[in-house]
Structure formats: C-alpha cells, structure tokens
Amino acid sequence: MSTERDVLPADQEAWLDAIVYDEHGLVPGIAQEVTTNKVIMFAYLNRESLRETLRTGNATYWSRSRKRLWRKGEESGHVQRVREIRLDCDGDVVLLRVEQVGGIACHTGRERCFYRRLETEGEGGVRWVETDPVLKDPESIYK
C-alpha cells in the first residue's frame, strides 16, 4: 500500500483513504502524552475529525454519544496539541502523540482516564484501585 502511495503525487485525502474505518465510519484513537509517555485517553475519530485534527493541530474526536465533532478541550481549555500521528499495521487504529495542555485529559479532572489500577489484595483477590488524584474539580472545569 505505502509503496504505491509513496510514488503518487501528494493528495490531500490519500492519507485518509489509507485508514480502515469500521461500519460506523470510525477508527479507534489512542492519545499518549509526549512528555510523560502516559496513555491518557481513548476515543474514536472519523474522517472529518482526522481532517480537522490535521488542519488545526488539535486532537479532534468524534463523539459517539453527541454524534458530532468533539474538539477536545473546547469547553475545558484542555486541548491536545498533536505532535505525531501514527497508524497501526492493519490501518484501523490511530495513535495520537500529544501535548496535553493543562495536564488534565480526563473529564473527572485527572491527568489521564486510566486512573484505576488492578491490585491484588488478601486471599488472591484483585480489585480496581484509584491511583491518580483529582487535580481540578470537574465543576470548575466545565462551567
């Protein structure tokens, strides 16, 4: 695929054509913070949101619940400046390496959405434990 594309003249949409979308036109996206290397969130993108991400330089997802473009940080100010976009072997998952403005990616006011860790406890059991503190009250983030 890429060998063929590499010799073609630049086409504004060719990079979008190379992505494999699901039946809803979506592709899973992983956001990783470039400074900490932490995986901070997961969300879906569609063709339009990918185009907007490239155009603006800010991560723009597709909100499945609101059924509209979700310009991450549009309310909170916690935008994600995109430093690198990567595509996986099957072309159906994208990785956004971003600079998380404000240091808060999660709507709960935490650094990242993955704030629960599976930990062992007595008798061989396990449970989810919240390891990351709330850095900012969500009430004050979303006015």
Residues that bind a second copy (CB under 8 A): 2, 5-6, 9-12, 14-15, 18, 28, 30, 32, 37, 39, 41-42, 54, 84-90, 93, 95, 106-108, 110, 113-118, 121-130
Q: Distance (Å, rounded) from C-alpha 114 to C-alpha 110?
A: 9
Whole-number minimum distance, CB 10 to a second copy, in Å? 3
Q: Distance (Å, rounded) from C-alpha 73 to C-alpha 118?
A: 29
List alpha helices for the chain, DSSP H: 2-6, 14-17, 47-56, 138-141
Whole-number minimum distance, CB 115 to a second copy, in Å? 7
Whole-number minimum distance, CB 117 to a second copy, in Å? 5
Whole-number minimum distance, CB 71 to a second copy, in Å? 19
User: In the complex with a second copy, which residue's Cβ is closer, 74 or 130?
Assistant: 130
CB of 43 within 8 A of CB of 107? no
User: In the complex with a second copy, which residue's Cβ is closer, 93 or 101?
Assistant: 93
Q: Distance (Å, rounded) from C-alpha 95 to C-alpha 39?
A: 10
User: In the complex with a second copy, which residue's Cβ is closer, 5 or 68?
Assistant: 5
Amino acid found at 129: V
